[in-house]
Structure 1
Amino acid sequence: MLNTHIPLIPQRADPFIYKHSDGYYYFTASVPEYDGIELRRAKTLAGLAQADTRMVWLKPDQGSYSDLIWAPEIHFNQGAWYVYFAAAPSREIKDELFQHRMYAIRCDADNPVTADWTFEGQIDTGIDSFCLDATTFEHQGELYYLWAQKGPGIRGNSNLYIARMSDPLTLKDEPVMLTKPELDWETRGFWVNEGPAVIKGHGRVFISYSASATDENYCVGLLYADENADLMDPASWTKLPKPVFQTNAEMKMFGPGHNSFTQSEEGEDVLVYHARNYTEIEGDPLWDPNRHTFTKILNWDKDGLPVFGKPGQA
């Protein structure tokens, strides 16, 4: 039974949990210092809380990826481990945005927590602008890359884009935009669509994503497409008009978002996300370390749509 109102791991934002074929759960997230990539693993979800951690990669002192290491995700693609993450050359804001680009590290060992990792360089999308929050998924024999990026001539911080990959480090398509911030709940504080995550079920492919500023306005939206549709065609995707997961003030769960999906030991779908327990943030929410990792069971309704429920409640 998951403790839905108690953090699984405190002070870990943008959480990502991957259940591998070796029976282990692998966890990574943004650390409050934004200075590197931390990994841990355990045989159970609950065990991640006490698992030993290791910083498998630290940012260099200078250069294009030497600051603000954000939203790492660990994936096992085509026989090797990859962590995809975003990094900036500094904390300077230009044109109202940070200067993040997306990068990857690789490990070929069985246990990526204790082994060495190799920096593989930048993931080039063909668009030279602020970008972050990359995830990958396989579908019908294709490996896809899904991420958030500032779109040329489009208002806001980021839209969601998709492309197929020729290998785990290289895109083989021109990016296709799937959604941009346009609804009222996507444009509170900032115009943002970011943090995509993929889950499949009931004949569909679902993409959850986070919207608005990272304070109590942060929330989760949902796209879906038929599993046999062309995922590279924006017309294949339906965007729900309302958020599926948002602040639950009654439980003091504020700004839930940047989620991922995993499975329980019993095979149930599990929603992984971060949230804060208060709204009185001093200064920029980005520097407040108290976005904690939470988990809850993800249910499904009679129409085959995922039911996120409310943060802090089963």
Structure 2
Amino acid sequence: MHKSTPCPRWVAGWAISLFALLAVVSASSANAATFANPIVPADGTGGTADPSIVYRSGFYYWARSLNGNSIAIAKAKRLQDLGMAPQIVVYTAPSGTPYSKNLWAPELQYLNGQWYLYFAADDGNNANHRMYALQASTQNPQGGWAFRGKLAPPTDSWAIDGTVLQKDDGSLYFIWSGWRGLNDGFPQRLYIASMSNPTTISGERVEISSPTLPWETEVAAIQEGPSVIQKNGRINLVYSASASWTDSYKLGLLINTDGHVLNPASWVKKSQPVFVSNPDAQAFGVGHNGFVKSPNGKQDWLVYHATSTSGAGWAGRNIRAQRFSWRPNNTPKFGQPVAVGAWINEPAGSPGDSHLRFEAADVSANYLRHARGRARLDANVTPIEDSLWRQVPGLNDPHAVSFESVNFPGHYLRHRNGEVWKDASDGSALFKADATWRKRPGQGDGAGVSFEASNFPGSFLRHRNGLFYSEALGTPLDRDDATFYER
């Protein structure tokens, strides 16, 4: 059986591990160019696992499973800030379907100018796990998504951990972990099939690898979590082996030798694992990795989950990141896991802070700012800090958002009597509710964002005559005034 279990909803008082907290402190101190692992602490009975992170247009996006039936996406300008960013639920599987339950390991990808999400789910029976696809409605992955159906070859068997390989010639291939038959169980093998588009498998599956080596079968015979990285025409497929619920979890590598990805003989397995547990670094059960670029595009980063203590199992999984290098043959060289708490230079080109500005969609170069406590829309804001906000998990709902002033820490954007102000938090339930907003696709432009008052459904943050209000939207002009671009 696969390693993932539903991750429960975060609560407002979620605990941050000591070293994650140190990383936060470092990010806001003079030594802002370093961070420490883990970047996301363990969360709930299933831990925080199977990281899928994409960097695009100035932001890192991280997709995760929630409650066994939903997918949330967090967004931050810096990789190390993803654990502090609001996790916006973008999809909840409808009940009573073959994909209502046990939603595992969502994979976020940007292909051919569009965002896609791939996930495994079932109807409550593990043997019925299959892969499914979503497509974003806009260029905003925290916005709307459309369900595109099941991805399955003619031989339709148990399938999890799907990802898409796009070759340099643009051709697409789906790679996943599966069973040979309907009820085989272990071993889990790796399969590939051609695709006619990012949501359609167009050919029969081909088995490209099976767990045969001792380190792949140490606890259970498993190959899963495939992740592709290419360099100078070389296709590398990194996978997770053995049992994720134990310290034996590790990474292996398949190398494609000639570009014929549908030919099993063209894939060569490394005889030894390429990334393993390191007790001295408090890194146990390392696995289910992904890859992401630095903001300047010049560095490659490995993201993966591990536990900080031996035998912690699924519940102890947290997310970590570290830079890796390349061998002369264009295969990745990961080295050893970096120790928990060790300072790491942040990805090259990262901004000094993860603050945001909110530009009005209908008034170019005008931004949400505070002036004498009132929320206003202005151009040429001086000082610029008056228009900088930290988007944090909602004060009364971690899957909504609150806006903390950069130059007035502890002050938040809140509505009162229909007007919007920057006020100091008094810690009351009313303040927390008034300062919490639900992030929605832009009401006037789906590529932007809008914010609905958490405690007044249908009432949105909008500007009018240079001031901000929380109001219902009745006209196209209202909807435009309630739409913003995150900068």
TM-score by length of 2: 0.58
State the secondary structure of the residue aligned to 2:51. Answer: strand
Structure 1 CA distance for aligned equivalents of residues 236 and 318 of structure 2: 24
**2:110 is matched by which residue type in structure 1?**
F
- Partners of 2:256 and 2:171 lie apart in 1 by 16
Find the counterpart in structure 2 of residue 186 from structure 1.
216
Task: Kindly state the Cα deviation for residue 144 of structure 1 after the two structures are TM-superposed.
Answer: 1.5
Distance 1:242 1:78, change over 3 A: same
Q: How far apart are residue 155 of structure 1 and its match?
A: 7.4
**Higher RCO, Cα 8 Å, sep 6+:** 1
Alignment of 1:164-313 (within 5 A): 164-214=194-244, 215-226=246-257, 228-266=258-296, 267-281=298-312, 285=313, 288-313=314-339
What residue in structure 2 maps to residue 116 of structure 1? 144
Residue 49 (str. 1) matches residue 120 (str. 2): no
In the alignment, the residues of structure 2 paired with residue 206 and residue 52 of structure 1 have an alpha-carbon distance, to the nearest angstrom, of 33
Q: Aligned to 1:235, what secondary structure does the other structure show?
A: helix
User: Distance between the aligned counterparts of 2:219 and 2:96, measured in 1?
Assistant: 31
CA contact (8 A) 2:51 2:288 kept: yes
Question: Structure 1 residues 81 and 304 mapped into 2: Cα distance closer, same or farther (>3 Å)?
Answer: closer
Distance in 2 (CA, whole Å) between partners of 1:243 and 1:202 is: 23
Aligned partner of 1:15 in structure 2 is 51
Change (3 A) 1:45 1:127: same
Greater Rg, structure 1 or structure 2?
2
Q: Which residue of 1 aligns with 2:154?
A: 126
C-alpha change, 1:53 and 1:100, in structure 2 (3 Å) is same
SS at match of 1:49: helix
Unaligned runs of at least 5 residues, structure 2: 1-32, 43-47, 345-487
Q: Take 1:308 and 1:277, find their aligned partners in 2: how far apart are those partners?
A: 19
1:143 corresponds to = 172
Hey, what's the Cα distance between the residues in 2 that align with 1:106 and 1:263? 22
Partner of 1:104: 133
Q: Measured at CA, do residues 290 and 2 of structure 1 come closer, stay the same or move farther in structure 2, by a change above 3 Å? A: farther
Distance 1:2 1:136, change over 3 A: farther
CA drift of 1:201 comes to 1.5
Q: What is the CA deviation profile of residues 14-49 of structure 1, one whole-angstrom value per residue up to 9, with x for unaligned ones?
A: 0011122x2322111334x32310101222212323
Q: Percent same amino acid at aligned positions?
A: 36
In 2, distance between residues paired with 1:239 and 1:152?
A: 23
Q: How many residues align?
A: 299
**CA distance in structure 2 between the aligned counterparts of 1:118 and 1:203, rounded to whole angstroms:** 33
Q: Normalising by the residue count of structure 1, what TM-score does the alignment of the two structures yield?
A: 0.89
Secondary structure in 2 matching 1:156? coil
Q: Matches of 2:134 and 2:218 in 1, distance apart?
A: 34
**What is the deviation of 1:138?**
1.2
8 Å contact 2:39–2:81 — kept in the other structure? no
Q: CA deviation at 1:202?
A: 4.0
Tell me how far apart the structure 2 counterparts of residues 246 and 152 of structure 1 sit (CA, whole Å).
30
Letter in 2 for 1:100: H
Q: Deviations over 1:151-205 (max 9, x none)?
A: 1397724111112210111112211111011111111221100000011114411
For residue 83 of structure 1, the aligned residue among 117, 124, 131 is: 117
Of 58, 61, 68, which aligns to 2:95?
61
Structure number with higher helix proportion:
2
Question: Counterparts of 1:29 and 1:150 in 2: how far apart (Å)?
Answer: 24
Runs of 4+ deviating beyond 3 Å: 152-155
